[in-house]
């Protein structure tokens, strides 16, 4: 998917090793849950022995303040987010989509989050799952399109709700292939194929990017 209204940007510098990867897995809202432990273990397994500098922000550490601070200090090139997206029930505008980071902290608008990612040199955001999609409309695709319009070079996001096992299979296989030197498109293809081989819906995850910037 190519956002036609994406601003014209200079070509980002090529990704180099060790790749700086940040994962953001905030706590669930009250009354909701998702199996973040699975994601944490899968990340630890995938990055073991690979040329990666890894910064996890898990649960209570994944506050808006900590995220902003670590984006500035760590300068990750890839950010992985798993959590909750929300939006106004009265205003369907995509700019009203918000990223929830847990606790009593205010949600962060998609445009503000995009600006923070862009300002700190993030080249790829992966939305591993949006657990709110089990209850409400899945906002993954709309959020990805808006992030791309705001200048994030590449976003991978689920188009529909996805179960925990399939989401973990996809992200595990995607990062394994990507860290082994495959291009972004090839790593996405490999992860989709692995997911399909295990009976999952390979078409759930989509890449949003300007082809000229890949």
Residue-wise pLDDT for 20-79, tens only, equals 999 998 887 666 666 667 777 888 888 888 889 999 998 888 999 999 999 999 999 999
How do strand 19-25 and strand 52-58 relate by DSSP bridges? parallel
Question: Distance (Å, rounded) from C-alpha 23 to C-alpha 26?
Answer: 10
Determine the 3-state secondary structure of 154 from DSSP.
Answer: strand
Return the pLDDT at 197: 96
How do strand 154-158 and strand 98-100 relate by DSSP bridges? unpaired
Label residue 77 left, alpha or beta by phi (over 0 means left) and psi (-120 to 50 means alpha).
alpha
Contacts of residue 178, Cβ cutoff 8 Å, sequence gap at least 6: 184, 187
What residues in the chain have per-residue pLDDT under 50? 2, 4, 6-7, 133-135
pTM of the model: 0.88
């Amino acid at each position: 998917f190519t956002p036609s209204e994406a601003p014209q940007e200079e070509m980002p510098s090529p990704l180099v090793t060790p790749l700086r990867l940040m994962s953001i897995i905030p706590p669930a809202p009250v009354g909701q849950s998702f199996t973040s432990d699975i994601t944490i273990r899968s990340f630890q397994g995938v990055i073991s022995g690979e040329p990666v500098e890894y910064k996890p922000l898990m649960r209570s550490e994944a506050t808006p303040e900590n995220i902003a601070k670590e984006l500035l200090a760590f300068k990750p090139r890839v950010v992985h987010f798993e959590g909750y997206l929300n939006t106004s029930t009265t205003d369907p505008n995509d700019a009203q989509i918000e990223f929830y980071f847990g606790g009593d902290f205010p949600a962060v608008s998609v445009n503000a989050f995009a600006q923070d990612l862009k300002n700190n040199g993030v080249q790829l955001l992966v939305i591993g799952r949006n657990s709110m999609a089990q209850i409400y409309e899945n906002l993954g695709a709309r959020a990805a399109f808006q992030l791309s319009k705001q200048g994030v070079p590449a976003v991978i996001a689920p188009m529909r709700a996805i179960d925990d096992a399939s989401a973990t299979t996809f992200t595990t296989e995607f990062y394994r292939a990507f860290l082994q030197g495959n291009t972004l498109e090839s790593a996405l293809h490999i992860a989709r194929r692995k997911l399909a081989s295990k009976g999952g819906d390979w078409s759930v995850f989509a890449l949003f990017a300007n082809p000229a910037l890949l």
